Amino acid sequence: MKRLSIIILTYNHLDDTCRCLESLTPVMKRDDVEVIIIDNASTDGTPQYIAEHYPLIHLTVNSTNRGVAAARNQGFAQATAPMLLILDNDTVVNTRAIDGMMDYLDSHPHVGLCACRMIDTEGNVQRSFRPFPGLKGKVLSVLGLRLAAEKYRADDEGAIEPFYVIGACQMIRREAFEQVGNLDEAIFYGPEDADFCQRLRQAGWQIKYLPQYSIIHTYYRHTRHHPLSRLGMHHIRGLLHFYNKYGRLS
């Protein structure tokens, strides 16, 4: 019986995917873990490489790029375990972080989603837990600026409860996922992660950031450098949908 389903979305960047899967090798050897990859029509040989070198991975190859939410929902539909881990393919993970998040969900029944600290390849801690993605903050981000950081108080175990954690790494309790449902497919790229966390919170679940565990995240921000690109426009439309959905801009 599977205990953990790992869902990875790929769209090109084969080198990153190779590093991610190599870091997952110890976990993939376990009988209680399954790995599901949804490829969004990569053109760099990613699906062919996965099929050849990782035949036990459940691979789905889309004929077009369906976006983040829709593709991850495909992975959720295939998952069989009581815990669901979504990962970006530009992450490098370790068993301590994965087991730590699983153990935390086991021992905290009111937590629907948890995430660990993420660091870049130079060892810098990333802003992976965040407040409401307000319009002012988004504009400043595009300009290379940042709002003053919100202060969060850690609980007795060191865990922090933010508004949301980014979707590059989220460990989700299946019971919570089934209660709130799929990611919002009206959002092609961002902020589907903030929306999902908000829906969990509205349903009475807690979201926790666990700084005692960490993974590496390369973290490409294409929309910051190219805000008016096709992907950037998808991001803007997603934000507008998000603001309209919750009736607030900040």
Burial class of residue 83 (count of CB atoms within 10 Å of its CB; 0-12, 13-18, 19+): buried
For a pLDDT cut of 70, what percent of the chain falls above it?
Answer: 91
Sequence-separated (6 or more) residues with CB below 8 Å from residue 90: 13, 16, 20, 168, 217, 218, 219, 220
Tally of structural domains, the chain: 1
pLDDT score of 224: 47
pLDDT per residue as tens digits for the range 153-188: 999 999 999 999 999 999 999 999 999 999 999 999
- Report d(CA 42, CA 26) in Å as an integer: 26
Average model confidence (pLDDT) for the chain? 92
Tell me the pLDDT band of 27, cut-offs 50, 70 and 90. very high
> pLDDT tens, 81-127?
999 999 999 999 999 999 999 999 999 999 999 999 999 999 999 99
Which sign does the torsion angle of CA 151, 148, 142, 202 carry? positive
H or E element at residue 137? helix 135-142
**Could you identify the residue written with the tokens 């130079």?**
122
Question: Any idea which of 2-6, 141-145, 164-168, 188-192 has the lowest mean pLDDT?
Answer: 141-145
Give Cβ neighbours of residue 72 (< 8 Å, ≥ 6 apart): 7, 9, 38, 86, 167, 183, 192
Range of the domain at 100: 4-246
Spatial separation of the C-alpha atoms in residues 201 and 239, rounded to whole Å: 19
Position with higher pLDDT, 133 vs 214: 214
- CATH code, domain carrying 75: 3.90.550.10
Residue 56 or residue 145, greater confidence: 56
**pTM for the whole thing?**
0.93
